[in-house]
Amino acid sequence: MLLSVLIPAYNEEATISFLLQKVAEFARECKTVTTELVVVNDCSTDSTEEKVKQFQAGNKDVRLVYVKQSKNGGKGLAIRRAIEEASGDIMVVQDADLEYDPQDFNVMLPYILSGEYKVVYGSRFLNHKNKHSYKTFYLGGRLVSITANILFGLHLTDEPTCYKMFTREVIERMTLQCTGFEFCPELTAKVARLGYEIQEVPIHYYPRSIDEGKKIKWTDGLEAIWTLLRYRFTNQSKL
């Protein structure tokens, strides 16, 4: 089985090299799947591209696909491009910052490999040792999760989590339209509408501050709720 780690990156020169090393470490140690890294540079204006190419040159044993968008389009569009470029039977989203630990793929993968689940989310809230950077982000995440649960009959603790793992079968049954941070609620809504069960597992979380480059805003939470509402009542044939 091949796991594609989808890495959208925009102006992540401070963290991208270390993040790629951490994913590479997982790839080298993992005995259950082969791993490829799919990096989509969302037209960064800093040295993100140079950092990725330096990593690529120094780690020939790591399977890495690299593409650069011709213009900045947003996280959702970058993930969609990564999905197009990916060859994996299984895919997982990995932000280019250092908030999430790729070693947690080892916790998520067994559920997919068992054949019982086709979608697994890594929950920051199931690991009670985790801290959160801002109370507004914490409460916003909770609100989005509650909204998803009410609208779709789910039992999620962390809908907005970055760590969403899914099989190729799942993603090929939908047409994603997201461009920005609404990737998460769009995927959740369509997964639920298509009847897939979402398994949650606890993961580690190391939040960064806005000063350290955190890009999400409170308005993205409102957009997430609107996205969930929109796809709750979208005709099934248009998913």
Query: For the chain, which residues make up each domain, given as ranges?
Result: 2-238
**pLDDT value of residue 55:** 98
pLDDT-based confidence at residue 220 (cuts at 50, 70, 90): confident
**With 90 as the cut, is the pLDDT of residue 211 above it?**
no
- Enumerate the β-bridge partners of residue 64: 37
Q: What is the pTM of this model?
A: 0.93
Confirm if 80 and 46 have CB atoms less than 8 A apart: no
Token code pair at residue 173: 């049954």
63-68 and 90-93 strand pairing:
unpaired
Which CATH class name applies to 2-238? alpha beta
Confidence class for position 209, pLDDT limits 50, 70, 90: low
Model pLDDT for residues 156-205, shown as the tens digit of each residue: 999 999 999 999 999 999 999 999 999 999 999 999 999 999 999 999 99
Rounded to an integer, what distance in angstroms lies between the CA atom of residue 224 and that of residue 227?
A: 5
Burial of 179 (0-12, 13-18, 19+ CB in 10 A): middle
